[in-house]
Structure 1
Amino acid sequence: MFKDYINMNNQELLAKKTFTLTEEIYDTIKGVSKKNSMKINVLINVLLGQGLRFYNIPIEGETANKGKGIHSDE
């Protein structure tokens, strides 16, 4: 996950988009981002991307060569 985090171009995440999280999920993600000195928007993007790939849901605009599979050792 950290490799995906550091490879993410933060400039791609500047547009404001709104969605809602439960307080528990938000607090958990916020805690992880602070503990690991990660920007919360990049962390959420990586977590969502990994979840979509895990369930084989295509990410719009992502090519087969660009996407990374989920491995148990990551």
Structure 2
Amino acid sequence: MDRGGRNDPCWCDGKFTTPGDSGAPVYVEGQYGDAWIAGIHNGSAWIDGKDRMVNTRAWSILEQTNSNLVFGDS
């Protein structure tokens, strides 16, 4: 996953990962001011000639733990 921001076309001008960021939630902004859980941050790696952030996707975590995500109103 890229680090967000608004630098089209890669959207990767956001802040980069630093030590202590691992385990942080990764999310995608929705259309209505909401957010969608995407995964958990794991660090960085050099991929295709670029520094990329490495994350574990939420569906993978749920699948490995045989779990479901429950939504509720707040």
TM-score (norm 1): 0.26
Q: Considering fraction of residues, name the structure with more helix.
A: 1
Q: Considering fraction of residues, name the structure with more strand.
A: 2
TM-score (norm 2): 0.26
Asked which structure has the greater RCO (Cα within 8 Å, sep 6+), the reply is: 1
Bigger Cα Rg: 2
